[in-house]
């Protein structure tokens, strides 16, 4: 959600990084700068861009993201282009602007000095085409990492929404193995912490992304409501108690 306090909460709760999702989430690229303001100093935030387009990359980085995550990487040429957009000359063609990343000009030169070294470009392997092109993608100079998208991968392999299907698990294992062999950091999205700990090869991962803000909120609220309902069934309703309705009262 486009709320800077969510980034701050994630940091306070012990997360080591956060991904702001502009692909499937409610955050637009126009919201990114405001959302990133919630990040404590030094806390890494990556932005998943909605598509592999230069404008999305430079806006996310100028807003202060330490890197970008690009969905649906399917060929090395596109990944090479992403790296070029994200790096300043002479390594790339990133346009030089002044934004939050540059301290609004107050840390302009220091940021330019370190940006090429510290900016991470992560791509998602989440299709059969991405699997087929993986070795070429891993050979792209400047690639920072690979994030496996098991849900889109399940759809691409004919098992829509079932990341636990054996062919999908085999494909995920193959991506991990090939990334490990190439020395490229590899991560995976998991719907929950339990999904991660129950996964067959957690030690093969260098980083993980767990849960969605909206889903975590929905699950927590639902859990409390279910707990109250179950207690009422077992012991009878608590006198005067009802599930809180926060809708405004009608006027008039």
Within-domain flag for 250: no
Within-domain flag for 178: yes
CA dist 212 and 237 (Å) reads: 33
Q: Look at phi and psi of residue 15 and say left if phi exceeds 0, alpha if psi is from -120 to 50, else beta.
A: beta
Within-domain flag for 106: yes
Kindly give, in sequence order, each residue whose CB lies less than 8 Å from that of residue 196, ignoring residues fewer than 6 positions away: 188, 190, 202, 208, 210
CA dist 111 to 30, 39, 58, 99, 209, Å? 22, 17, 14, 11, 27
Number of independent structural domains in the chain: 1
Confidence of residue 143 (pLDDT cuts 50, 70, 90): very high
Q: What is the enclosing helix (H) or strand (E) of 79?
A: helix 76-86
Say which CATH number the domain at 95 has: 3.20.20.60
- pLDDT score of 243 more than 90: no
Catalytic residues: 24
pLDDT of the residue at 78: 97
Tokens (6 digits) for 248 = 């405004």
Within-domain flag for 72: yes
Range of the domain at 166: 4-210
Q: Look at phi and psi of residue 236 and say left if phi exceeds 0, alpha if psi is from -120 to 50, else beta.
A: left
Q: Where are the alpha helices (DSSP H) in 133-205?
A: 134-138, 150-156, 166-182, 193-197
Kindly give, in sequence order, each residue whose CB lies less than 8 Å from that of residue 247, ignoring residues fewer than 6 positions away: none
Within-domain flag for 216: no
Q: What is the pLDDT of residues 59-81, one digit of tens each?
A: 999 999 999 999 999 999 999 99
pLDDT of the residue at 227: 87
Within-domain flag for 244: no
Within-domain flag for 104: yes
Are the C-beta atoms of 63 and 100 separated by less than 8 Å? yes
Q: What is the pLDDT of residues 86-102, one digit of tens each?
A: 999 999 999 999 999 99
Within-domain flag for 30: yes
pLDDT of the residue at 246: 54
Strands 18-21 and 145-148, by their bridges, are unpaired
Task: Give helix 54-62 / helix 76-86 axis angle, nearest 10°.
Answer: 40
Query: Per-residue pLDDT averaged across 90-118, rounded?
Result: 96
pLDDT of the residue at 23: 94
Tokens (6 digits) for 84 = 């070029």
Q: What is the pTM of this model?
A: 0.88
SS3 assignment, position 69 = strand
CA dist 12 to 17, 40, 101, 210, Å? 11, 9, 22, 16
């Amino acid at each position: 959600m486009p709320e800077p306090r969510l980034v701050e909460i994630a940091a306070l709760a012990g997360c080591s990084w956060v991904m702001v999702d502009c692909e499937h989430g409610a955050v637009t690229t126009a919201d990114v700068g405001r959302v990133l303001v919630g990040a404590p100093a030094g806390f890494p935030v990556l932005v998943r861009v909605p598509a592999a387009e230069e404008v999305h990359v430079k806006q996310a980085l100028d807003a202060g993201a330490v890197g970008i995550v690009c969905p649906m990487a399917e060929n090395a040429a596109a990944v090479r282009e992403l790296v070029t957009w994200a790096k300043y000359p002479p390594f790339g063609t990133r346009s030089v602007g002044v934004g939050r990343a540059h301290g609004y000009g107050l840390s302009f030169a220091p940021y330019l000095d370190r940006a090429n070294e510290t900016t991470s470009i992560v791509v998602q392997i989440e299709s059969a085409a991405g699997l087929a092109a993986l070795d070429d993608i891993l050979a792209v100079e400047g690639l920072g990492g690979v994030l496996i998208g098991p849900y889109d991968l399940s759809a691409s392999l004919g098992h829509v929404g079932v990341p636990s299907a054996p062919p999908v698990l085999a494909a995920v294992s193959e991506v991990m193995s090939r990334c490990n062999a190439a020395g490229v950091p590899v991560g995976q999205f998991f719907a929950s912490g339990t999904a991660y700990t129950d996964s067959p090869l957690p030690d093969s991962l260098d980083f993980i992304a767990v849960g969605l803000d909206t889903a975590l909120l929905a699950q927590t609220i639902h859990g409390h409501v279910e707990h109250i309902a179950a207690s009422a069934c077992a012991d009878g309703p608590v006198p005067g108690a009802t599930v809180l309705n926060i809708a405004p009262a009608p006027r008039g």
